[in-house]
Amino acid sequence: MIRCIWTFKLSPSAFLMGVPRFCVRYLRSRNRNRLLCGIPAMALTATIIMILRQTDTDESRADLKARYARLSQAAIESNAPEAAETYFARVLTLSDDRLAESFNFAKQLYLAADGPANHTFLLSPADESLDTNATEELLRRSLRLMQSLAPRRGSSKGYIPAHQFLAGFWRSRLPKTDLTTTLALQHEAAAAPHDPEPAIRLARFISERGYHQHALDLLEPLQKGHAGIHIQLAVEHAQLQHPRKAEKCLANAESILVKELLEDPTDVVARLALSRVQAAQGRLLESMLLLADGCQHERSPKLVDHLISRYSLWLSMMAPEAVAQQLNEITLALKHSTIWDAAYLNPGSQALHTSTGEAVFVPGPIVAFHAALLAGDGEWLVPLILGTDAAARADFVAARDLLQEAYEVAPRHPVIANNLAWTLLQMNNSESDSGELPNAGDDSTQHTDIPGASLLEAWELTNIAVAADPENLPFRETRGQIAAATNRWQIALEDLQTCADAGFHSRGLFRTLNLARQRTSQ
């Protein structure tokens, strides 16, 4: 067959002339071997010729396309947009990727008109009838072509680079308006069809301007498996007076976020979102504890800022007396921490700088709270604050659990030890009606031998608190009440008498003090 190949030439005309010559030779010789070898040789030669012809055609096509592209560019530089578009149309007929070619041509027009430096040009239909200079005409043609490649409505998703270009264009317009921001957000969402965050930003923007149904229609097709979309949908349903749908969306978001946090406890974004969901569901204390737990895994300023925000919201729902007591609890707790500063004693407003650089003015103890959280003390400080509040509301089971959690993190902290001891005492006193902390007096304290480990634990804890700060009268009163409850009457007498002499006492102090005097005089 190799010998027969030489019978045919690679030139198309020579090949065609060689075919009859081969046939004549075969008819004269009637040699079957010549036929069996010649036919494959003929087919192979024909294939090679077609490949070479196609290569020549592709090279010629590419050369022609490049030539029209150069002519189009020259026309743009000569401010002849009509001629440029004529040449560009010919480029398109020779191109395999018309979208990319159209996008590149539109960018050429934009750059030729110095578009990046022009921040005030707007493509307004009202201006089309007006005379425009050559630069504005190039900009107009460029943006029209970009808009045809990246429609904001309809079933077509458009060309993603064109959406990205138009998003940047509308972002750069001056002055910024709701219209330019909306257009930028729409193109950003279209440029990232698999990322729900731009769509959420768009929905949030139009929702803030009262278009809740439009935001709902935008997000509902995207809601599968993304917590942020469910949260924003809950906002829209709440605004449209659909409480059940809002609750369902929040529940869906919570299940997604809980799963994400179990997989990665250091995920700050998921933790902040879950905290937001819990706060929206009215579970403000859980929200605060979740953020405090996050500070343990990841010491993030964002977590601290949101925790302070939740705490401030929590305080805003309290009576002024309760707020004052909360601030006093923070001050007392932080006196025994490493970040204590005497300036925090000032209850007046002080500047608190958030992670964004914004300065907000809050009472001094909250500034101290913020500093402690940044220092990593939130792991024990938040359970202490919440546990103390629960005890003041006579929710002693919740108070015990929270205070024990705080004590495990910060063992031998005197304030935690004192408040936990007081809580354990109240749990052993079925007739307790006191709701004050850390003043531990109680009119109905049972002065009998009460069995069980909780009072023994309370006695150990109160001694830790007093040993750390013997001059602290609330600690001495707590120990005096627990001493009386465990029949340590001499210690009860000394501690309660010290408090009474200093004028510091609760409602039950004098009753217990008189009882201690009677028992010690016997």
The answer to whether residue 344 scores a pLDDT higher than 70 is no
CA-to-CA dists, residue 105 to 2, 68, 117, 344, 521, angstroms: 51, 12, 19, 63, 104
Q: Where are the beta strands (DSSP E) in 283-387?
A: 349-353, 359-363
Residue range 235-256, pLDDT digits in tens: 999 999 999 999 999 999 999 9
By C-alpha distance, which of 474, 470, 492, 472 is closest to 482? Answer: 492
pLDDT, average across residues 459-463: 96
pLDDT score for 364: 83
Contact 496, 431 (CB under 8 A): no
- Residue 387's contacts (CB-CB under 8 Å, 6 or more residues apart) are 398, 399, 400, 401, 402, 403, 405, 406, 419, 420, 423
Predicted local distance difference test score (pLDDT) of residue 145: 94
Q: What percent of the chain has pLDDT over 90?
A: 48
182 or 348: which leads in pLDDT: 182
The pLDDT value given to residue 358: 84
- What pLDDT digit, counting tens, does each position of 386-413 carry? 899 899 888 999 999 999 999 999 999 9
Under 8 Å between Cβ of 216 and 240: yes
Average pLDDT over residues 320-348: 78
Domain boundary among 38, 71, 93: 93
Residue 51, domain member (yes or no): yes
| Interval 143-158: pLDDT, tens | 999 999 999 876 778 9
Residue 440's pLDDT is 39
Q: Is residue 515 situated within a structural domain?
A: yes
pLDDT tens for residues 480-521? 999 999 999 999 999 999 999 998 877 788 999 999 999 998
> Looking at residue 442, what is its pLDDT?
43
Q: Using the 3D structure, point to which of 62, 93, 124 is the last residue of a domain.
A: 93
DSSP state letter for 359: E
Report the 10 Å Cβ neighbour count for 210: 10
Contact 257, 273 (CB under 8 A): yes
Per-residue pLDDT of 397-454, as tens digits, reads 999 999 999 999 999 999 999 999 999 999 988 544 444 444 434 444 554 444 456 8
93-129 per-position pLDDT tens digit: 888 899 999 999 999 999 999 999 988 888 765 455 4
Query: Per-residue pLDDT for 367 more than 50?
Result: yes
| Residues contacting 510, CB < 8 A, separation 6+ | 500
The two structure tokens encoding residue 488: 């340590």
Does residue 464 belong to any structural domain of this protein? yes
Closest C-alpha to 486, from 511, 516, 514, 506 = 516
287 by DSSP, 3-state: which?
A: helix
Does 298 reside within a domain? no
In this predicted structure, what is the pLDDT of residue 435? 43
In a domain, 210, yes or no: no
Burial of 119 (0-12, 13-18, 19+ CB in 10 A): exposed
Q: How many domains is the chain partitioned into structurally?
A: 2
In a domain, 188, yes or no: no
CA distance between the termini of the chain: 131
Q: What is the pLDDT of residue 431?
A: 42
Q: Which of 31, 65, 93 is the last residue of a domain?
A: 93
Mean pLDDT value across residues 5-22: 62
pLDDT, average across residues 155-176:
92
pLDDT band at 166 (very low <50, low <70, confident <90, very high): very high
Do the domain assignments include residue 435?
Answer: yes
- For the chain, give the mean pLDDT: 84
What residue numbers bound the domain in which 7 lies? 2-93
Q: Is residue 135 part of a domain?
A: no
Separation of alpha carbons 308 and 318, rounded Å:
16
Percent over 70 (pLDDT), the chain:
83
For residue 220, the 8-state DSSP code is G
pLDDT of residue 482: 94
| Between 257 and 452, the higher pLDDT residue | 257
Q: Which pLDDT score, from 0 to 100, does residue 454 have? A: 85
Instruction: Report pLDDT digits (tens) over 20-49.
Output: 777 776 677 767 676 667 677 777 767 776
Query: Is 70 exceeded by the pLDDT of residue 342?
Result: no
Q: What is the pLDDT of residue 229?
A: 95
What are the pLDDT digits (tens) for 294-331?
887 777 899 999 999 998 889 889 898 888 888 888 88
